[in-house]
Structure 1
C-alpha cells in the first residue's frame, strides 16, 4: 500500500468517525428549536431577554429612525440614539454618498413597525450601555 493511500484511508476514517459521532450525540433540529425557545414568528420574547441579560425592560417613546437598525427615542425624558441589538441593515451613508442597496426599504420597515406599535419597550444588553457612536 502506498503512503498516499494510507493518508487517504486515515483522513476518510476520521471524517466518517466525526460524522458518526455527530449523528449519535448531535442535537436534532427539533431539539435545537426547543433550546432557543422562540415563539411562533421566530422572535425571542422580552422576558427571555430580561432573563438572559439580568436587565429589566423600560418604556421607550419612539421619535424617528435614522436607518433600519438605529432609532432616536425618549428614555426617561431624554432623547437618545438606540442601536437595535441583533439587527443589521444596509447603511444609509448620510454625508458619505448614496445609501447601500435596500437601506431605504430597511428604514421604512423599521418606521412602519415602530409607528404602528402599541407600546415600545427595550432592554439594555450586557456590557456598556453605549457604543462608540453613543448609541
Structure 2
C-alpha cells in the first residue's frame, strides 16, 4: 500500500520532507539542516567555536558576544560531543562541565579524577568513554574512564 504510506507521510507534519520505512513515516531534512527535538522540524544547527587563550575558555556563536565558560586557570579542555559536556583540567582536578550551548552552565561541575601533577593537554574519547591526559611530572599519558561517574 504505497498510497497509504504517502498519505501517512503527508499527515505526519514534517517541516521539509518525509520518507517511509516499513510503512512508518520518518521526517528528513535537506543538507545543512538537522532534525529538531520534535523529530518533525528541520533547523540550521548552531555552530559554536570554542577556544582557549591564556587559560580563559570562551566560545562564540557567529557575531554574538564571547563569554568565559570555565574557571581562570584551566590549562586543558576537550568537548564530549555525545554527552554535550566539556571535560577540563581546572583547580587541580579533571572536571566534567555540562554544556547545552547556553552562555551559562546549567549545573555545577563534577570532578572526574585528581591527577598527581599538572595536566598540559587532554583528549576525550567519546566513543569508548575515556579521557586521556599528559602528566607533565611523569612525562606519561594517563587515562580514566568517563563512564564510572
Q: If the length of structure 1 is used for normalisation, what is the TM-score?
A: 0.28
Structure having greater relative contact order (Cα 8 Å, sep ≥ 6): 1
Indicate the structure (1 or 2) with the bigger Cα radius of gyration. 1
Instruction: Name the structure where strand makes up a greater proportion of residues.
Output: 2
Q: If the length of structure 2 is used for normalisation, what is the TM-score?
A: 0.26
